[in-house]
Amino acid sequence: MTALTVALVLVVAAAVILRWRRPAWYWMAFGAAYATLRVLVRYASVMDACGLTVPPSRWRLAFARIANRPVPESRAPRILRVHPTCTGLLLRLKLRPGQDAFDISAASDRLRHSFAMYGVTSRELRSGVVEVRMTGYDVLKRVRMPVKTDKAPMRVPVALREDGAVHYRDYRAVPHGLTLGATESGKSVYQRNLVAGLAPMDVALVGIDCKQGVELFPLARRFSALADTPDTALDLLEALVSHMADVYQLIRAEQRMTVNVPDAEIAADIWDLPEHLRPVPIVVLVDEVAELALFASKDEEKRRDRIITALVRLAQLGRAAGIYLEICGQRFGSELGKGITMLRAQLTGRTAHRVNDESSANMAFGDIFPDAVLAAIQIPTDTPGIAVTGDSSGGWARIRAPHTSLRQAVNLCNKHADRTPELPALAPFRPATAALPSDRVPLSKTAPATV
């Protein structure tokens, strides 16, 4: 055997092993180039076979007749751009007269088989231009977030979509969110990813974790306020409602409504305020929300009503004051009592992890995306973390957050502990934490008492 044959065998063996064990690496090393070549070479014949070509126009036929040339062939959409990404290929197509974006999306399954890709989706970018997004492998099997993501305030890259795009939780576009799912379906891991994404931003985190605080208390260093029982949750929520009133007073004081003030300078929410006056935005994370709505006695019922009222008020009025709700639970329906459906109607962002029955999925999507209900029920039990989410384009998509362990999230929160804002209104709920080792003063000096 010559050296060349040995090298060739080694490369082929490496490709086969990578494809089997590490599809993402295989894609970047071999798959992307091979798939680009295959798409370019087979493009015309595949489009023809999938019924995506148009017959030649009259003037082309006439021209061919005059010039005594053979009859021109049918033409496929023109390729404007082929762009390999770390999960697949992006194809931008210019449609021919008579074609529409629906033709491409209707043929996406045929294109998937013909180009031997894992998944194909398409969307219209502008009139006549369609983007076809192809994935080379199952990107949700082992989620790796791209290194480069969009950086914008209050926009967290939280999960990967089935088509390889990043799913963002954008608090300014969708202020309040609801995440549902059966037990062990991945809700808390999703929420942990949100905390990890928010930790480096200028934002105050407030947590209510009625599972005795097991999920959120380890992340306490980055939290400005935490509650682990319904009693403390009530006090915390009422403190937030009064903080919200203070923020509105501040915005009103800043509204100089004279005729000279240009439109853009009239403040109607915290983002219109000058930076030095702007109160820090607050994300309120609630895990196991049903615990807040359950009661066993008359006193507990009164407490429950006050909690739900405070949550409804925060959901109704919180956005302009920079207070955003992120609610997680196993079920969130009318059986939890009055006020729940009203609160749910305010929670625009919906995400459903695996659910056990249709009625739970209906709580997330029944009123907006009926076919997403079916997709949520079909999520298998052996893939925790896969979820269905409503997206900004008015449709829905399957997503999965990366598996961030509690240790990784704790490290990140500790690293950004100095970003934790002190909110006077929430001071009584500030979690007690010991100083980090690096912050400790040497023993020779008088050590101040740690909070």
Ligand X SMILES: Nc1ncnc2c1ncn2[C@@H]1O[C@H](COP(=O)(O)OP(=O)(O)OP(=O)(O)O)[C@@H](O)[C@H]1O
Binding site for Mg ion (CB under 5 A): 188
Residue 401 interface partner, choices Mg ion, ligand X, none, CB cut-off 5-8 Å depending on type: ligand X
CB of 160 or CB of 347, closer to ligand X: 160
**Contact between 331 and ligand X per CB under 6 A:** no
Nearer to ligand X, 135 or 185 (CB): 185
- Please name the helix (run of DSSP H) or strand (run of DSSP E) that holds residue 88, with its range, or none: strand 88-94
**Smallest separation (angstroms) from ligand X to the CB of 179:** 9
Closest approach, Cβ 213 to Mg ion, in A, equals 12
Q: Least distance from C-beta 292 to ligand X, angstroms?
A: 15
Nearest approach, Cβ of residue 185 and ligand X (Å): 4
Among 157, 207, 385, 431, binds ligand X (CB under 6 A): 385
Q: What one-letter code names the amino acid at 34?
A: Y
Strand partners, 170: 155
Q: Which of 100, 184, 231, 301 binds ligand X (CB under 6 A)?
A: 184
Work out whether 273 is an interface residue with ligand X (CB under 6 A): no
Identify residues 154-183 at the interface with ligand X (CB under 6 A).
Answer: 181, 183
- For residue 386, which phi and psi values (nearest 5 degrees)? -75, 135
Nearer to ligand X, 184 or 335 (CB): 184
- DSSP state letters, 194-260: HHHHHTTSS-EEEEEETTTTTTTGGGGGGEEEEE-SHHHHHHHHHHHHHHHHHHHHHHHHH---STT
The whole-angstrom separation of Cα 324 and Cα 194 is 13
Q: Select 319 or 354, whichever has its Cβ closest to ligand X.
A: 354
Name the token pair of 5.
């044959």
Is residue 23 involved in binding ligand X (CB under 6 A)? no
Pattern 189-208, ligand X, x by CB under 6 A: x-------------------
Of the candidates 235, 251, 421, the residue with the CA atom closest to the CA atom of residue 319: 251
Q: Bridge partners of 400?
A: 160, 386
CB of 188 to Mg ion, least distance (A): 3
How wide is the angle at C-alpha 295 spanned by C-alphas 291 and 297, nearest 5°? Answer: 155
Minimum distance of Mg ion from residue 209's CB (angstroms): 9
What residue 186 binds from Mg ion, ligand X, none (CB within 5 to 8 A, per partner kind)? Answer: ligand X
For ligand X, the closer CB: 184 or 265: 184
Containing 399, the helix (H) or strand (E) segment is strand 396-400
Residue 46 CB, nearest distance to ligand X (Å)? 34
CB atoms within 10 A of CB 279: 19
Residue keyed to tokens 């400790």: 440
SS3 at position 300: helix
The listed partner (Mg ion, ligand X, none) that binds 438, CB under 5 to 8 Å by sort, is: none
Our CB check for ligand X shows the closer of 409 and 425 to be 409
Q: CB of residue 216 vs ligand X: minimum separation in angstroms? A: 12
Cβ proximity to ligand X, 331 vs 419, nearer residue:
331
Rounded to whole angstroms, the Cα distance separating 11 from 17 reads 10
Residue 346 binding result from ligand X, Mg ion, none, given CB thresholds of 5 to 8 Å by partner type = none
Name which of residues 387 to 416 contact ligand X (CB under 6 A).
400-401, 403
Residue 224, C-beta contacts closer than 8 angstroms, at least 6 positions apart: 204, 205, 206, 282, 420, 421, 422, 423, 426, 429, 430
Q: CB–CB of 323/315 below 8 Å?
A: no
Contact partners, residue 68, CB within 8 Å, separation at least 6: none
Number of residues that bind ligand X (CB under 6 A): 14
Residue 330 binding result from ligand X, Mg ion, none, given CB thresholds of 5 to 8 Å by partner type: ligand X
What is the C-alpha separation between 159 and 378, in angstroms, rounded? 19
220 binds ligand X (CB under 6 A): no
Q: Is 185 in the site for ligand X (CB under 6 A)?
A: yes
**Residue 340 binding partner per list Mg ion, ligand X, none, with a CB distance cut-off of 5 to 8 Å that depends on partner kind:** none
- Residue 31, contacted partner among ligand X, Mg ion, none, CB below 5-8 A by kind: none
**Which residues, in sequence order, are CB contacts of 237 under 8 Å at separation 6+?**
208, 307, 310, 311, 314
Cβ closest to ligand X, residue 172 vs residue 403: 403
Q: Cβ(396)–Cβ(375) under 8 Å?
A: yes
Contacted by 177, from Mg ion, ligand X, none: CB < 5 to 8 Å by type: none
The span from the CA of 333 to the CA of 340, in Å, is: 6
- C-beta of 218: minimal distance to ligand X in Å? 13
d(CA 408, CA 192): 10
Kindly tell me which of 212 and 411 has the beta carbon lying closer to ligand X: 212
Note the residues at the interface with ligand X (CB under 6 A): 181, 183-189, 330, 384-385, 400-401, 403
